[in-house]
Structure 1
Amino acid sequence: MTAPRPLVTRFAPSPTGFLHLGHAHSALAGWRRARAGQGRFLLRLEDIDSTRCRPEFAEAIQEDLAWLGLEWDGPVRVQSRHMADYAETLAALSDRGLLFPCFCTRRDIAREIAGSASAPHGPDGPLYPGICRRLSQAEREARLARGEPHALRLDMPRALERAGPGLSFAEAGRGRLACTAARFGDVVLARKDVPASYHLCVTHDDARDGVTLVTRGEDLLPATDLHRLLQALMGWPEPAYAHHPLLTDAEGRRLAKRDRAQTLRELRARGVSPAEARALAGWPD
């Protein structure tokens, strides 16, 4: 019998603003599970989008977590320092014919969708209509040789064929859930302005760091289908998942940076103690 892997959880915020109580709730969910299971709790900064992420927010995240009383194990993984790792994964997928370059602008895609008799939708809106997937290899090579800007998309039909049927994942309290990654269509794995996508980086790093339990908000539950597909394609280990409800304000709206949710720094300035903040985040001592 194979011995179970040690419990490893992680908290992986993007440094695009200061942490609020919703972040604290998510961080505490992973930290408490790790400590209860005598496991490891990792901190990762998902800062691949240089246009939105800021070093001051990255520093503030670590300060706020330490104030909350959360200590993490090992060095902080900063994704922007490891773009070569993600490029290797993209190259591996490309070598197997699972990626194609997409030269489309948003206007090209919107025009194609508008002229279509039907426009299937996925979790993120209308699906990519497959314009560049239909290009001949000769045309792709010619456009690449001209240096045309392009994204890299996963050839979803080919990827699903390669992965095989029956993909699923283990969700805490719900057993195994079937995956329907096809609803994402030919998802972008590298944008024109960012050389790797969230979906690619998060699955790569979870595998690299030996994460065995992914704790995160229920808004990311649909993305798990796509993450399991990438894990299957790359031969990466399958973690278990525990998606938690999102914290909301008095009007029932989820706490979010864009809505100016009250930050941990503001609470600290008001004299709120770490124990009180943990209780406000849904995890009273």
Structure 2
Amino acid sequence: MRPVFRFAPSPNGPLHLGHALSALLNHTAARASGGRLLLRIEDIDSARCRPEFEAMIYQDLAWLGLGWEEPVRRQSEHFADYRAALGRLQSMGLVYPAFESRAEIRALVAAREASGQPWPRDPDGAPLYPGSAGRLDAAERARKLDAGTPHVLRLDTRAALARIGRPLAWLEEDYGDIPADPSAWGDVVLARKDSPTSYHMAVVVDDALQGVSHVVRGRDLYAATAVHRLLQELLGLPAPRYRHHRLIVDAAGHKLSKSTGAASLQALRAGGATPADVRRLIGLD
């Protein structure tokens, strides 16, 4: 079968050079292997994603000379797929509601760290979930849910790993098998009130449904692959081959980000840059 690659941006701001590197690496790998290139729009965050940014994605990629297969998968049109996957995990007893707000979680962590003991953090530096929702009895959970108490749905990672009962790993191009440690992320959020899915859930479901065989993405998602492998195993989904490429950084060594105002591809184009200039700037000339 032909290899299947995908580029999956979120339409929550303009694309920048970091996106260009990922898109071009996927495009090049697909061409070199005689494979297919898919475009996926990861727009589960309805508060930040905008149609105008999605339109800019198509314009920027076309300007770079990229082509992709149609139709484009838009995550906001496939919430039923993610609900079905979540339901399977719930039927296994691996999902529980957590009722603390973000502010309450910050306060809990601050109080515990004030005692002189650092609270464990995930590979991205965020504190692991410190609440006690996973230990609530069924009656108390039902009371809170019946009362409409706001909550998120979390994966019981310890129970999930016990269910699998063996070490996990993923295949990293050029490096071989990499041990996966999902416990480093604690009990990750799988769904919120304002979204029936999380990035972790959606990405593994999408990759499986679209037959993605090769995932080429930034090094910032390297550690998160452990969570994805856990979900793939629990849901009986195939594991793609992974390649986590270098990141494009600014003068201070920080990863380019939409939120910090990294120069967009549209701004570069408006300033007279060519696709060849972009390739040179990201080291692909």
TM-score range, shorter chain: over 0.9
Once residues 87 and 70 of structure 1 are traced to their aligned partners in structure 2, the CA distance between those partners, rounded to angstroms, is 32
CA distance in 2, matches of 1:25, 1:221: 16
Q: Which stretch shifts more, 53-62 or 145-154?
A: 145-154
Q: How does 1:127-206 map to 2 (within 5 A)?
A: 127-206=128-207
Write the deviation string for residues 94-128 of structure 1: whole angstroms up to 9, x where unpaired: 01101001111123323433444642221241111
Give the corresponding residue for 1:120: 120
Structure 2 unmatched ranges of 5 or more:
none
Residue 87 in structure 1 maps to residue 115 in structure 2: no
Cα distance, 1:81 vs structure 2:
1.0
Tell me by how many angstroms 1:215 deviates.
Answer: 0.5
Sequence identity percentage: 52
In structure 2, how many angstroms separate the alpha carbons of the residues matched to 1:255 and 1:136? Answer: 44
Cα distance between partner residues in 2 of 1:9 and 1:75? 15
Q: Contact (CA 8 Å) 1:130, 1:186: kept in 2 or not?
A: no
Q: Secondary structure, in 3 states, of the residue corresponding to 2:78?
A: helix
Task: Give, in angstroms, the shift of residue 130 of structure 1.
Answer: 4.0
User: Paired residue for 1:252?
Assistant: 253
Q: Which residue of 1 aligns with 2:211?
A: 210
Kindly state the Cα deviation for residue 281 of structure 1 after the two structures are TM-superposed. Answer: 2.7
Which of 219-228 and 165-174 deviates more? 165-174
User: Which residue does the alignment assign to 2:276?
Assistant: 275
TM-score, length-scaled by structure 2:
0.94
SS in 1 for 2:272: coil
Post-superposition CA distance 1:62-110 (Å, at most 9, x none)? 1110110000112111101111111111111101101001111123323
**How many residue pairs end up in the alignment?**
280
**Equivalent residue number for residue 14 of structure 1:** 10
Q: Which moved more, 1:119-128 or 1:251-260?
A: 251-260
- The verdict on how the C-alpha distance between 1:111 and 1:249 changes in structure 2, with shifts beyond 3 A counting, is closer
* Counterpart for residue 75 of structure 1: 71
- What TM-score, normalized to structure 1? 0.94
* CA distance 1:253–1:234, shift in 2 (3 Å): same
Q: Deviations over 1:1-26 (max 9, x none)?
A: xxxx4211111111111111111001
Over 3 Å counting, the alpha-carbon distance change for 1:67 and 1:231 in structure 2 is same
Q: Distance in 2 between matches of 1:260 and 1:128?
A: 30
The superposition leaves residues 214-237 of structure 1 with CA deviations (integer Å, 9 ceiling, x where unpaired) of 101101101000000000000000
Give RMSD over aligned pairs.
1.4
1:177 alignment partner, SS class: strand
Is the partner of 1:9 in helix, strand or coil?
A: strand
For the 8 Å contact 2:105–2:131, the answer to whether it is kept is no
Answer with 157-166 or 249-258: which moved more: 249-258
Alignment of 1:29-68 (within 5 A): 29-68=25-64
Instruction: Mark the CA change 1:279 to 1:175 in structure 2 (over 3 Å): closer, same or farther.
Output: same
Matched, 1:100 2:101: no
CA shift, 1:283, in A, is: 1.9
Structure 1: runs of 5+ lacking an equivalent: none
